[in-house]
Amino acid sequence: MAYSIDFRRKVLGVREREQLSITQVAQRFAVGKASVMRWLKQVERKPSGFRRRKLDVAALEQDLRDYPDAYQRERAADSA
């Protein structure tokens, strides 16, 4: 689960204002210590990488037009 940027900033703000340790603030907000340490380095989320798809979307769309009543197992057998 990804925490919102607002929540991350709130956790770090409370830590700074109240001079809490990483462990104390993690316990207070019920998050992992590793998460708090990571947020100290970079509050913003890292962009997710490009995900390569196993299916050619254009080929799937064409197959759906050609064989609209085919089962998924039939489509999988044809592509293998």
| For range 13-18, the mean pLDDT | 96
- Looking at residue 9, its pLDDT comes to 95
Confidence of residue 44 (pLDDT cuts 50, 70, 90): confident
d(CA 69, CA 63): 10
User: Tokens 């907000």 belong to which residue?
Assistant: 29
What's the pLDDT tens digit per position in 24-33?
Answer: 999 999 999 9
Taking CA atoms, 72 is separated from 40, 54, 58, 80, in Å, by: 46, 15, 16, 12
